[in-house]
């Protein structure tokens, strides 16, 4: 079957990751059933429908707490991409996750996401969808003690340790991934999990400009003001959104693929990120330098990621492309 004969379902289509999966799937010729909380949202739907190939896009309203809402968009789909499991940092009452005890953290932060993911997978199983790809996070791959090079197969975060450290938001990804893997195994569903962190490059919806890194990069462009007053002695991992979407599609399009895959290019120290940005924007203010020796960036074993065969932009390129794209005023907001 060619792409035009297949329908993909993207859950969380108005999110940063989901909208780029929609863009990439349409570009490859697929029909796409896409879900969002309100399919008619005027600040979201028109931008998705305006994507090239938007005549093959059908929008549906669905909330992950209501599994039955996914039956219609999943009907006839060959794969479901679950990109709606965004980090939750506060409970319904506004209590920050870091201030919760375990019982509240599980009830208000962890389990809504875990249950929502399973609701979608149950609907996929009911509709006979054979493939699923979930967007998670590298926060599920931080073993204790840390390792010099972490990989997707051997290295897991310990959810109990994450909870003891009040990192319920991070623990959510660890618990969710394990629950999804168990469900897929029990139901004969081919499951892949992609784990990104910092996402750069063009966004699809104007509201995505309000989140980082796009918000602090725009401030850097407009005023020269850096994100930090002092350079953090830490690193951050990065990927270009178009490359990340290609990773998602690659895990689906290759039938032998399953399991966990890093969705990052690499990790750089903030000192090096600011030095690179100063090459692109010479007039920016630089944060205070670090004192002492720079901490080593997070180390990855990219053997599995590279086996997907997806070309990835390096960090200088993705920084430059993001800055140039923001400077082009793509949504006419300047």
Least confident of 15-19, 45-49, 103-107: 103-107
What strands lie across the sheet with 79-82, from one edge to the other? 57-61, 31-36, 7-11, 79-82, 131-135, 190-195, 259-262
pLDDT band at 4 (very low <50, low <70, confident <90, very high): low
Asked whether the beta carbons of 264 and 237 are under 8 A apart, the reply is: yes
Q: Give the SS3 label for residue 281.
A: coil
Rounded to an integer, the average pLDDT of 6-18 is: 97
| Dist CA 181 CA 199 (whole Å) | 25
The total of structural domains in the chain comes to: 1
Beta strands in 111-250 (DSSP E): 131-135, 190-195, 198-200, 235-240
Asked whether the beta carbons of 177 and 193 are under 8 A apart, the reply is: yes
Rounded to an integer, the average pLDDT of 99-111 is: 93
| Dist CA 193 CA 268 (whole Å) | 23
| C-alpha neighbours within 13 Å on the C-beta side of residue 170 | 20
pLDDT of residue 228: 95
Is the residue at 326 inside a domain?
no
Is the residue at 182 inside a domain?
yes
pLDDT at 276 over 90: yes
Neighbours of 97 (CB within 10 A): 22
| Dist CA 63 CA 120 (whole Å) | 10
Is the residue at 35 inside a domain?
yes
Is the residue at 319 inside a domain?
no
Tens-place pLDDT, residues 323-333: 999 999 999 86
Sign of torsion over alpha carbons 140, 141, 142, 145: positive
The pLDDT > 70 percentage for the chain reads 98
**Minimal CA–CA distance to 9: which of 65, 63, 64, 82?**
82
pLDDT of residue 86: 83
pLDDT of residue 2: 62
Rg (CA), the chain: 20
Is the residue at 60 inside a domain?
yes
Is the residue at 245 inside a domain?
yes
Is the residue at 165 inside a domain?
yes
Tokens of 54: 């938007």
Is the residue at 143 inside a domain?
yes
Left, alpha or beta for 104 (phi > 0: left; psi -120 to 50: alpha)?
alpha
**Minimal CA–CA distance to 59: which of 86, 37, 78?**
37
pLDDT of residue 225: 92
| Domain boundaries, position 265 | 3-200+237-270+298-313
| Dist CA 9 CA 28 (whole Å) | 14
The pLDDT > 90 percentage for the chain reads 94
pLDDT at 322 over 80: yes
Tens-place pLDDT, residues 212-271: 999 999 999 999 899 999 999 999 999 999 999 999 999 999 999 999 999 999 999 999
CATH of the domain at 253: 3.40.50.720
Name the one residue in this structure whose structure tokens are 């918000």.
Answer: 215
pLDDT of residue 224: 87
């Amino acid at each position: 079957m060619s792409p035009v004969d297949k329908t993909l379902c993207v859950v969380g289509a108005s999110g940063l990751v989901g909208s780029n999966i929609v863009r990439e799937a349409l570009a490859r010729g697929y029909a796409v059933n896409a879900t969002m909380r309100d399919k008619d949202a005027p600040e979201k739907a028109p931008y998705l429908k305006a994507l090239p190939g938007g005549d093959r896009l059908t929008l549906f309203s669905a909330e992950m707490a209501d599994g039955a809402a996914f039956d219609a968009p999943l009907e006839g789909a060959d794969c479901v991409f679950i990109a709606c499991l965004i980090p939750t940092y506060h409970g319904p009452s506004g209590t920050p996750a870091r201030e919760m005890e375990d019982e509240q953290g599980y009830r208000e932060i962890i389990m809504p996401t875990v249950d929502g993911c399973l609701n979608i997978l149950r609907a996929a199983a009911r509709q006979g969808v054979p493939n699923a790809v979930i967007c998670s996070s590298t926060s599920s791959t931080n073993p204790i003690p840390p390792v010099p090079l972490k990989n997707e197969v051997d290295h897991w975060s310990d959810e109990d340790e994450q909870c003891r450290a009040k990192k319920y938001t991070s623990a959510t990804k660890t618990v969710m991934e394990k629950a999804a893997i168990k469900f897929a195994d029990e139901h004969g569903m081919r499951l892949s999990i992609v784990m990104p962190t910092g996402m750069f490059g063009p966004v699809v919806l104007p509201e995505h400009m309000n989140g980082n890194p796009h918000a602090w990069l725009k401030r850097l462009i407009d005023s020269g003001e850096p994100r930090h007053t002092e350079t953090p002695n830490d690193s951050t991992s990065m990927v270009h959104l178009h490359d990340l979407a290609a990773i998602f599609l690659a895990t689906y399009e290759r039938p032998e693929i399953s399991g966990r895959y890093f969705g990052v290019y690499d990790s750089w120290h903030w000192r090096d990120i600011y030095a690179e940005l100063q090459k692109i924007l010479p007039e920016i203010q630089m944060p205070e330098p670090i004192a002492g020796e720079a901490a080593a960036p997070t180390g990855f074993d990219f053997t599995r990621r590279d086996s997907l065969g997806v070309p990835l932009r390096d960090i200088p390129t993705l920084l430059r492309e993001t800055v140039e794209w923001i400077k082009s005023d793509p949504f006419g907001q300047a």
